[in-house]
Structure 1
Amino acid sequence: MPTLHIATRKGLFTLRESLGRRHLSRPAFPGEAVTAVLAAEGRLFAALRLGHFGVKLHRSDDDGATWRELAAPAFAAGLEEAPAVDMIWTLASDGGGTLYAGTLPAALFRSTDGGESWSLMESLWQVPERKDWQGGGYDLPGLHTVLVDPRDARRLTVAVSTGGVWRSADAGASWRLTGSGLHADYMPPALAKELVAQDVHRLAACTAAPETVWCQHHNGIFRSTDGGETFDRLDPVQPSAFGFAVAAHPREAQTAWFVPAVKDECRIPVDARLVVTRTTDGGRTFEALGSGLPAADCYDLVYRHGLDVDADGERLAMGSTTGNLWLGQDGGAHWERLDAHLPPIAQVAFA
């Protein structure tokens, strides 16, 4: 089993397997909120949200044995309309030495020196449509997804809640608002298709076929076959098309996983039964996978980054707001609860 990192409200845990036995570490940063974790190019990065003490970023060069604090992404003094960074919501790598950080409020930062320093991608910050971005779950809009095309690192796709899908073909020098086909049912009918009004909860792309992008939206599940330019709504999806998390199979473009919940303000599993829904035919049909998951009296919610799939597409990990951690085998057909006493989980990530 590959190493699994678990970012929680009270520290960063790591699950490893040795001699056929699994071991869950004591946390790095005990008692502190870890909002994002990234294993990239032999290094491990952890983002912390410390309230009054601000946002912090740490890097380990020895697989978590020791950590060193780095400069965290921050807006330059005097930048118009730039508050303090409240949270690093996601970290991503292009595999070639460039790191990206998506933040709350919604902004994209880039580092080319291993996280030692960060620069705001002003090209996205300055798009005219930013004035129309709205909070989605937080008072401020947030940038929670960064996809880097593995075939061409200049091609970037990001998602803002609420501000739609944005794409760049020139490493972020310029951006276009895309996502035709997305539909915001919460808007007046005449505005429901407005691209900037789309509350995208999460995007995930197939590594082997990155033109296939899956979208968990506030108002349903969508699929793109052109890299996020256009999307098709997938209906019907039972028990619910609402949720936050999505994972894309790394090799099979027709396969993806979601975690359904009751919308809007309720946000618990449908009928208090936790399942993971999977499609293996491009979204034409979905199956609810619940073997090993709570069949009743379950009130766990899975956040945007609380579901991940390993590089083979065989194992999944899922962590909830109630501190439950599960491992899914055989593509999620069977689940095993690994821990029931963790702090609320923000992200699970296979190394």
Structure 2
Amino acid sequence: MNRVLLSTRKGLVELSGRDGGLHYDKTHFIGDPVSVTATDAEGRWWAALNLGHFGTKLHRSEDRGRTWREIAVPAYPEKPEDPDDPNTWTLQQIWCLEVDPKVPGRLWAGTIPGGLFRSDDYGDSWVLNEALWSVPERKGWFGGGYDQPGIHSVAIHPQDSNHLTVGVSCGGVWKSHDGGDSWTLVGEGLRAAFMPEDMQFNKAIQDVHRLVVSPTDPNRVWVQHHNGVFVSSDGAETFTELEPEPSAFGFAVAVHPTDPDRAWFVPGKKDEFRYPVDLAMLVNRTNDAGKRFTAQREGLPQEACFDLVYRHGLAVDDTGDRLVMGSTTGNVWFSDDGGSRWQSVSTHMPPIYAVAFAE
């Protein structure tokens, strides 16, 4: 473990791993909201900034954050006159960035309002994936936590870069086997309890909060949904709904790098509340594909706690032992034993949107 990157409302905070823990190092883009970061094995870092009135910006470092250069952002074409399409065609936020480890230069960006973009030159230029943008169901996508729909999860098959699985809020789960030239709506068994009863199993309106594919068994797919935790054993074609206590609501998912049946979730009280159940923080872990969940509380606040962990606010490193978690109230925790015990890293960071381990 060398570095942890925190994407926060007031900059990109860099933590260094030493003395058995995590320690503050520096802040990049201080004062600016950073929505998400990405890194590759050669030391490139990417940071997406969401500057509100001044728009979305994207920066790349070639030297692990020592210097940065602004690069292109994904851009939508001009919206045609279409009364059936209620969504905007203007970039509002880069919600996820994924580096393809097998194709040099290739990145995928999931955005609000629901566009998927690809770059083959390390982010110097971007192309909208027209095939997904053109599926008829997209006009029925709608916003979950934001007013517009968004793509927050892009999972690249570990053996096949042409095999992609995408999570949309609210628009369900989509798969491509040809690099994005065509897409199939999947996710039989996902259930949207907030919809009328006759629409709850409609795959095209599911509010997937986060989707993660196991790196060693791509058939194992984990989803934290608005109203449940779901697991798939057939590559997201079908899902089984699980019932973790004390709540199935949450945003974040982390999956063990070598054990597809082990995953972590951060439950909360849903809808208008969005704080820990009984104001007591916990992380749920399953070691058996969701048959049982263990509430991990040691080192986490158990009273007067209002922390919420966003979709990308929980990460596990390549060992499967070290986890880091950041919250909306600026708390950061670290575990080096698979989440059994947590230690506080900071209690006074800005609100944290995403966390990531960096080489």
> 1:144 corresponds to which letter in structure 2?
H
| Aligned counterparts of 1:247 and 1:48: Cα–Cα separation in 2 | 24
Large movers: runs of 4+ above 2 Å: 17-23, 76-83
| Aligned counterparts of 2:289 and 2:168: Cα–Cα separation in 1 | 24
Match of 1:308 in 2: 315
1:44-63 to structure 2, matched below 5 A, reads: 44-63=45-64
Asked whether the equivalents of residues 23 and 345 of structure 2 are also in contact (C-alpha less than 8 Å), the reply is no
Taking a change above 3 Å as real, the CA distance of residues 255 and 29 of structure 1, as seen in their structure-2 partners, is same
| Aligned counterparts of 2:295 and 2:19: Cα–Cα separation in 1 | 33
Gap regions ≥5 residues in structure 2: none
Match of 2:75 in 1: 74
Pick the aligned partner of 1:206 from 198, 208, 214.
Answer: 214
> 1:87 corresponds to which letter in structure 2?
Q
Post-superposition shift, 1:2?
Answer: 3.4
Deviations 1:281-313 (A, max 9, x none): 110000100100001110000000000000111
1:32 partner SS: coil
Asked whether the equivalents of residues 293 and 335 of structure 1 are also in contact (C-alpha less than 8 Å), the reply is yes
2:94 partner SS: strand
Match of 1:92 in 2: 98
Match of 2:27 in 1: 27
1:298 partner SS: coil
Post-superposition shift, 1:22?
Answer: 4.2
Post-superposition shift, 1:211?
Answer: 1.2
| Aligned counterparts of 1:241 and 1:305: Cα–Cα separation in 2 | 17
Match of 1:123 in 2: 131
TM-score by length of 2: 0.95
Asked whether the equivalents of residues 203 and 213 of structure 1 are also in contact (C-alpha less than 8 Å), the reply is yes
Pick the aligned partner of 1:107 from 81, 106, 115.
Answer: 115
1:197-236 to structure 2, matched below 5 A, reads: 197-235=205-243
Match of 1:340 in 2: 347
| Aligned counterparts of 2:79 and 2:232: Cα–Cα separation in 1 | 39
Asked whether the equivalents of residues 2 and 310 of structure 1 are also in contact (C-alpha less than 8 Å), the reply is no
1:334 partner SS: coil
1:193-342 to structure 2, matched below 5 A, reads: 193-235=201-243, 237-342=244-349
Deviations 1:20-69 (A, max 9, x none): 67431221000000001001142100000001110000000000000000
1:240 partner SS: coil
| Aligned counterparts of 2:352 and 2:154: Cα–Cα separation in 1 | 20
| Aligned counterparts of 2:346 and 2:20: Cα–Cα separation in 1 | 17
Pick the aligned partner of 2:157 from 149, 152, 165.
Answer: 149
Post-superposition shift, 1:264?
Answer: 1.3
Post-superposition shift, 1:197?
Answer: 1.4
Match of 1:4 in 2: 4
TM-score by length of 1: 0.97
Post-superposition shift, 1:18?
Answer: 4.3
| Aligned counterparts of 2:35 and 2:236: Cα–Cα separation in 1 | 26
Asked whether the equivalents of residues 79 and 89 of structure 2 are also in contact (C-alpha less than 8 Å), the reply is no
Gap regions ≥5 residues in structure 1: none
Pick the aligned partner of 1:163 from 161, 171, 178.
Answer: 171
CA RMSD of aligned residues (A): 1.2
